[in-house]
A and B are shown apart, each in its own frame.
Chain A
Amino acid sequence: MSEKYKFDTLSLHAGHVPDKETGSRAVPIYQTTSYVFNDTDEAAALYNMEVGGHLYTRISNPTISVLEQRLAALDGGVSCIACASGMAAMHLVISAICSSGDHIVASNKMYGANINLLQHTMPRFGIETDFVNPNNLDEIKKAIKKNTKLVFGEVIGNPGLDVMDIPSVAEICKENNVPLVIDATFNTPYLMKPIDYGANIIIHSLTKWLGGHGIAIGGAIINGGNFDWSNKKKFSTISGPHFALDGISFWEEFGPSALTSKIRAEGMYNFGPTLSPMNAFHILQGIETLPLRMKKHMENTNELIKFLSEHEAVSWVKHPSLDSHPDYGIAKKILPKGAGSVIVFGVKGGREAGKNFIESVQLSSHLANVGDAKTLLIHPGSTTHSHLNSEAMRSAGLTDDLIRLSVGLEDVDDIKKDFEIGLKSVLKSR
């Protein structure tokens, strides 16, 4: 992709220059619902998508646009839509491409809400999904049908930390003329840009590392502009006539940015999963320090992997940077700067020991989020999955003793001291 400035510079500047009227160096928060038209001609042009601009914040907003343009630049895309959450982003993509009777192929090792949407909600609207092992290329090939409209996966799976072989899956998608949609929340564009490896559409939960502060929910769709939507029969929603705007074909009129033009004109307009301008501002503040934070996240992660691997109270540690991880090879290839700052590990003593560990730590926060600047922990066996027995846990890819750790930016010695307290309680409970 083509950039004049490097990543760290784009993190600070892309999408914004000080405005001429006020000279404001920071991105202003345009906390407004609507925009005064200069004249009726301008209003008509905006409604008809003849030129760009803002008419109503449900559809676009100047503060949100700065965020969108920054994300598109960072991920090497052609355009971006920011929206209310990562889940909203996923729904917008599916609804832009798929209709009743269509089919999706998705990884079976994804974030639970992603699976729920595809397994339970979308079938009610006639869209079926086959779930596959994301690194079984034959399984993916076999699952693609004539009516398959997209393949969906995560770069780094949550919570199993499986790493998808994006280049190989992208090749399969290209051969079958199906777009590859990738949730890249765990890696952020700092660690890896899936578009560079052949993915076509990127989804982020901005709530996590991109925001980094745990104060704002948001999502984004980055359009790689690298998919050929010309098959009008297969991709009628993108290349066929639109129900409004003189029946235009988004593909013929907007080309590389056809997908996001469609989402702006239909998904944002008709569903309205709008990001608030204030949240866009907060997330922009986070992105300004993304390179610095991700570097520190990875330094701390590497230290903690070593610490946990050597600790007598820890039975196992899983992270794609460890050669014991089944996806170590692909992680090394596509995530050379690091395979994310989530570690999963088991404590000796099973479910009760895991509970003791969580209740003993003082610095780390026990909650259901990842990608905060602060260290976060969760023990599914005593929280999200506490209703499941051991066997049911295993079939969900979890174990009684599993703890998910989202490594924060504190001094790593303090995190180790905190864990030492928790792990001592594990040893005591045995």
Chain B
Amino acid sequence: MYLKFKNIETFISTGGKKLNSNQPTICFIHGAGQNHFSFVQQIRYFASRGFNAIAPDFPGHGFSKGKCNSSIEDDAIWLSELLQEIGINEFVIAGHSQGCLTAIEFNKLSLKSLKGIIFIAGSAKIPVNDFLIEKAKNEPEKAYKLMVTWGHGKHGSFSISEFPGHHHLGEGFKVMEMNHKSALINDLSSCNKYEKGLDELKNINLDCLAILAKFDLMTPLKFGKKMVEHINSCECHVLDCGHFLPTEKPKELNKIIYQYLKNLDI
């Protein structure tokens, strides 16, 4: 759905369903240079199982207009205001990659309605190498290509998709290309300068879920595990795929998340 938020056209994927204020909500937060299409195999799944499932396009990403946020802190505040604007009640947030940093920061806002946090292929600190930063700044298309090829595991690289006929690398590239050209450099810079993630984890007092990827070259598994170790209560699963876990292993991911949501009893 589209809405004017802060006077800027903003898109929130709802899986084609109307939001129901009586249902709990799961809000997916996309990663660096991504948009709601990262969660194409999650949104409709959860929207058809008793949840409001939403995935907003952050400013300058996907179908949302406006200038990109310039920090993880800004992303978290923007998201909390957006959720208030659309008037949802109890909710869980699920961040992918950079979205995990946004989720850590979002926790600081101490919203009572936040009932759980899901970390997908992420870590508490995501430093970005200078080469990728330079490419994202000056040749974003080359940066998309690098991220898409690094980001997919074996199956993704061989174009093996659970969605018949879909080509991971081609689709991944086009999803990134749909954003404003400044989106990726903004996001990578935000990740680079966000260094307090590990310290913030101790402030999370919710039961969390982490789904990490065995062959993740963007946020390597060892850093994901370190994040999990710093959270008071976090169930952890490792799937046999690359960084683009939501599209590489959608069915396994959905089952784990669904069980987590059931256990939360929201």
Contact = CB atoms under 8 A, between A and B. Distances in A.
Interface of A: 1-5, 10, 13-17, 44-45, 48-54, 60-61, 64-65, 68-70, 72-73, 76-82, 225-226, 230, 245-249, 252-257, 260, 264
Given A246-B17, A247-B16, A252-B13, A52 B166 contact: yes
B163 A77 contact: no
Given A2-B144, A17-B154, A17-B155, A78 B44 contact: no
A68 B16 contact: no
Contacts of A253: 13, 15-16, 40, 43-44
A72 B149 CA distance: 16
A260 B165 contact: yes
B5 interface: no
Given A65-B165, A246-B17, 15 more contacts: A2-B148, A5-B158, A17-B154, A48-B48, A53-B162, A65-B161, A65-B164, A69-B167, A79-B165, A225-B174, A247-B16, A248-B15, A255-B178, A260-B166, A264-B164
14 contacts: A10-B159, A48-B44, A54-B164, A60-B164, A70-B159, A78-B173, A79-B165, A79-B170, A80-B165, A248-B44, A249-B16, A254-B37, A254-B40, A255-B174
Contacts of B144: 2
B192 interface: no
B15 A16 contact: no
Contacts of A225: 170-171, 174
A73 B167 contact: yes
A36 to B, nearest CB: 15
Contact of B149 (A2, A17, A255): A2
A76 B11 CA distance: 28
A255 B158 contact: no
A72 B159 CA distance: 9
B110 to A, nearest CB: 33
A73 B159 contact: yes
B171 A79 contact: yes
A81 B165 CA distance: 6
B175 A255 contact: yes
B4 interface: no
A159 to B, nearest CB: 31
B13 A3 contact: no
Contacts of A14: 158-159, 167
Interface pairs A-B: 4 shortest CB-CB: A52-B163, A248-B16, A72-B167, A68-B165
Contact of B41 (A2, A5, A50, A65): A50
A49 B44 contact: yes
A23 B145 CA distance: 31
Contacts of B162: 51-53
Contacts of A60: 164-165
B189 interface: no
A373 B16 CA distance: 48
Contacts of B148: 2
A73 B170 contact: yes
A50 B47 CA distance: 9
A72 B178 contact: no
Given A249-B16, A253-B16, A78 B170 contact: yes
Contacts of B145: 2
B127 interface: no
A197 to B, nearest CB: 16
Nearest to B46: A50
A82 B167 CA distance: 13
Interface in B136-186: 144-145, 148-149, 152, 154-155, 157-167, 169-175, 178
A65 B166 CA distance: 8
Nearest to B149: A4
Contacts of B178: 255-256
Contact of A245 (B16, B41, B251): B16
Nearest to B162: A52
Contacts of A10: 159
A80 B145 CA distance: 20
Looking at A1, A2, A246, the one whose CB has the most chain B CB atoms below 10 A away is A2
B45 A51 contact: yes
Nearest to B165: A68
A69 B178 CA distance: 22
Given A4-B157, A16-B158, A60-B164, A78 B174 contact: yes
Interface string B10-46: 0101011100000000000000000001001101110
A69 B161 contact: yes
Contacts of B51: none
B63 interface: yes
A353 B110 CA distance: 89
A76 B170 contact: yes
Contacts of A226: 174
B128 to A, nearest CB: 18
Nearest to B53: A50
B72 to A, nearest CB: 25
B250 interface: yes
B159 A256 contact: no
B48 to A, nearest CB: 6
A172 to B, nearest CB: 22
A16 B178 CA distance: 28
Contacts of A13: 158
Nearest to B45: A50
A45 B63 contact: no
Contacts of B47: 50
